[in-house]
Chain A
Amino acid sequence: MTNTGAMLGGSIAMVFLALWTGSSADQQPPPGRGGGRGAAVRQRKAVLAWADTRNGIAQHDSVSHALAVIERLGYESGAYDTYIRTDSNIIAKQPLMTDGKPASGGPSLSNVDAIFFLGHREIQLDARQKADLLSFVKDDGKGFVAGHTATTAFASWPEFGELLGARYDGHPWNTAYGTVINEDPSFPATKPLPAAFNITEEFYQASEFSRDKIRVLLRLDVSKMPPNPELHRTDGDFPLAWAKTYGKGRVFYAAFGHAAGAWDNPDIYRMYFEALKWSLGMTEGDATPRPFTPSDHR
């Protein structure tokens, strides 16, 4: 059993290595961690993979696998180190321990370069934490990459909607097979994807978005889906992934990743990995908003 695991691990590592060298041939892979020879000055970017799911009834079984995959992508490529947290104490520029004393070690909004967010619903943050989170992106120019349930988060907090770019409006077909249109094959996260592709996913419907504020990268081809009374827009605009800026920071959201297996799909994990690298400023991509043009990319 462990031998199989080793072989799998090895082959996955090779795929990641190939991805890394292929996508940024100009960058040398950073040296390894030096065989545990003590703490060194941080050479790599740091990502906080934050998934506080304590306040929701629908806790996705995929979340832990997603966090582990995000960690592994950064670790094996050398692009970033990851702190995994499912609590929100660290959402602060000066985080506190449970007893109110300053935190010891670990991540904070002062020492990470991007957040990968997979939380949902009403996460408990106090006013200071909320201000710090917004400032982390807006003023400090840090990255914010969010997946799937992220649009369900903080419904009572308008500024979070501004940060993320949209809100959750159900998933009309539940988990279904559909065709995804790649509106921007030049953006780093969607560059590896074909002009159109088919995939099974719980397609989240976005609401309260404006194409004046987000650059849609992927959308669902609604014309190929069966009629559904929960589909609320009649113009066929159904964004599934977008990029935007929020102040000085870079923001990316994609609806993909409902099932744990989705995070084993190279099309999906590579998209999030490239989005993280873009949000970290390691690659460039155009997040300028563009209007909806239904005839494009069919």
Chain B
Amino acid sequence: MRARAGIASIAVLASVATLAAAMQAPRRPRVFPKHVLAWADVRSGYQHDSISHAVATIERLGRESGAYDTVIRTDSQLITKHPITFPAGTGIAAGAGGDFNVHTLTYFDAIFFFGVREVELNADQRADLLSFVRDDGKGFVAAHAAATAFFSWPEFGELLGGRFDEHPWNIADGTVVVDDPSFPAMKHLPARWPVHDELYQLKSFSRDKIHVVAHLDPAGLDLKAPLVHRRDGDFPAAWSKTYGRGRVFYSILGHEADDWDDRLLQTMYFEALRWSLGQVD
């Protein structure tokens, strides 16, 4: 017994010592298997109030699950595969670590995109963005206003799979009907999902090129509203597609900040990201 007690107290002492050592050692940063760029360049269009909450939520979901870490940017500096250079005198002295943490598209595994309208990118950046998905097989998950982006850039429409065509019903009640319950981002959803959101009408999409995983039930929509342009009642709410070797997902949902508190919506985008990252098939 004595010996045991002695061993036990040694063990306790040892664990206290280990704890003290652990407290004194610089905490090792957590390592995440994948890196997501939450890119919401809103400098050239209407900034939805929800965007900051959306990117913060995307960051939290990745960090808490351990699936990915996130760099949040509302500028487009990192949309490049080329080294980023700095004007003389503006950067911190390159010490032992060199140019640390200056990430480019070569570092990221997927983009979560919530930009709007004509985001300023030069020709090299545009080529690198397309190549990031098409050639590198990286992921591209886009939300809501993303469909308003880059109207003057046809290739972006090809990447995303469709374009914004007004929101004829503004913020309204609607029903999202799940078309592919086997798709990772849809598995958790009820067959009919009541939503209250700014419901987008989309155009310039082809069902030959996108895999619609959910659509808006046209029966619940006023098809006589002035801005309704689709006469066939085809209103996709979410789709997946490939672009070259990469995986792309888009959903119309997420206009209001508190939409991003909806577990169903959170899980949809989170699982879409994991799918785009190749973490699920």
Binding site for B on A (CB under 8 A): 1-2, 4-6, 8-9, 32-39, 49, 52, 54-61, 63-65, 67-68, 71-72, 75, 81-87, 89, 97-99, 103-107, 120-122, 152, 175-177, 198, 200, 259-261
Contact = CB atoms under 8 A, between A and B. Distances in A.
B24 interface: yes
A64 B27 contact: no
B48 A105 contact: yes
A98 B70 contact: no
B122 interface: no
Contacts of A104: 45-47
A2 B267 contact: yes
Contacts of A97: 43-45
Given A37-B196, A105-B49, A86 B73 contact: yes
Contact of B65 (A2, A67, A82): A2
B82 interface: no
Nearest to B257: A33
Given A58-B100, A121-B91, A259-B29, A86 B49 contact: no
Contacts of B219: none
7 tightest A-B contacts by CB?
A: A106-B47, A57-B91, A36-B256, A68-B56, A71-B56, A84-B52, A87-B75
B42 interface: yes
Contacts of A1: 65-67
A259 B26 CA distance: 10
Given A56-B86, A56-B91, A61-B29, A33 B52 contact: no
B102 A65 contact: no
Nearest to A97: B44
A229 to B, nearest CB: 16
B99 interface: yes
Contacts of A89: 43
A144 B142 CA distance: 33
Interface string B65-78: 11101111111010
A106 B41 CA distance: 12
Interface in B58-104: 59-61, 63-67, 69-75, 77, 86-87, 89-92, 94, 97, 99-103
B64 A4 contact: yes
B229 interface: no
A200 B27 CA distance: 8
Contacts of B87: 55, 122
B90 A55 contact: yes
Interface residues of B, number: 67
A4 B90 contact: no
Contact of A72 (B44, B56, B77): B56
Contacts of B53: 71, 75, 82
B55 interface: yes
Nearest to B36: A64
B270 interface: yes
A36 B59 contact: no
A37 B59 CA distance: 25
Contacts of A122: 87, 89-90
A2 B66 CA distance: 10
A154 to B, nearest CB: 11
A193 B159 CA distance: 51
B91 A55 contact: yes
A32 B258 contact: yes
Nearest to B92: A58
B207 interface: no
Nearest to B280: A1
A93 B103 CA distance: 31
B62 to A, nearest CB: 9
A34 B171 CA distance: 13
A36 B196 contact: yes
Query: Could you say which of A5, A83, A97 has the most chain B C-beta atoms within 10 Å of its C-beta?
Result: A5
Contact of B92 (A36, A81, A152): A152
